[in-house]
């Protein structure tokens, strides 16, 4: 019975070769999938002789890499957009002031944790500025008091 299902395509029939019929219809599918998985980084031996779960992991890895590359491309576009916005006044002939604005000092946050860290840094920076302003005011007041005290 096995001989009836699988015929050798290299038999000597004077050109009347029949197509080989595989008892396993998924073999052709698997052969077509092999280059796809090899492009994902899987070796030929891993694909054919490795664990059956490996293709699942390689598919997931490829999906993660695609998302990461897509995010990196978006992030690069976001930085380019910010840079163009910073220099836009230079190229607008209708504006009175053609000086470019400052490029942002901070990175674009990637997740909620980085957003919170940036907010904390901004608050600390603002507090330092307020402390410096208070110190400058205190120095100014002390100088005025010394002048008043020296005049008397």
pTM of the model: 0.54
Q: Is the dihedral of CA 33, 35, 36, 42 positive or negative?
A: positive
- Per-residue confidence in pLDDT tens, the chain, 152 aa: 444 444 444 444 455 455 566 667 788 888 889 999 999 989 999 988 988 899 999 999 999 999 999 999 999 999 999 999 888 888 877 778 878 888 777 778 888 998 899 899 999 999 999 999 999 999 999 998 888 876 65
Q: Is the dihedral of CA 27, 29, 35, 37 positive or negative?
A: negative
Confidence (pLDDT) at 5: 47
Alpha carbon 46 to chain centroid distance?
Answer: 28
Question: Which two structure tokens, joined as six digits, stand for 67?
Answer: 């998302």
Q: Which residues neighbour 65 within 8 Å (Cβ) at sequence distance 6 or greater? A: none
Nearest partner of 59 among 79, 44, 38, 32, judged by Cα: 38
Confidence (pLDDT) at 73: 95
66-71-75 Cα angle (round to 5)? 150
């Amino acid at each position: 019975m096995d001989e009836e299902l699988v015929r050798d395509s290299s038999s000597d029939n004077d050109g009347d070769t029949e197509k080989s019929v595989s008892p396993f219809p998924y073999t052709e599918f698997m052969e077509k999938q092999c280059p796809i998985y090899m492009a994902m980084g899987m070796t030929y031996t891993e694909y054919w002789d490795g664990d059956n779960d490996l293709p699942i992991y390689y598919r997931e890895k490829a999906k993660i890499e695609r998302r990461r590359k897509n995010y990196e491309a978006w992030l690069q576009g976001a930085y380019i957009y910010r840079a163009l916005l910073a220099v836009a006044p230079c190229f607008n002939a209708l504006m009175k002031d053609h000086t470019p604005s400052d490029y942002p000092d901070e990175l674009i946050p990637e997740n909620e944790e980085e957003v919170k860290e940036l907010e904390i840094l901004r608050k600390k920076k603002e507090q330092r500025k307020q402390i410096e302003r208070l110190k400058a005011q205190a120095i100014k007041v002390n100088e005025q008091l010394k002048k008043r005290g020296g005049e008397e």
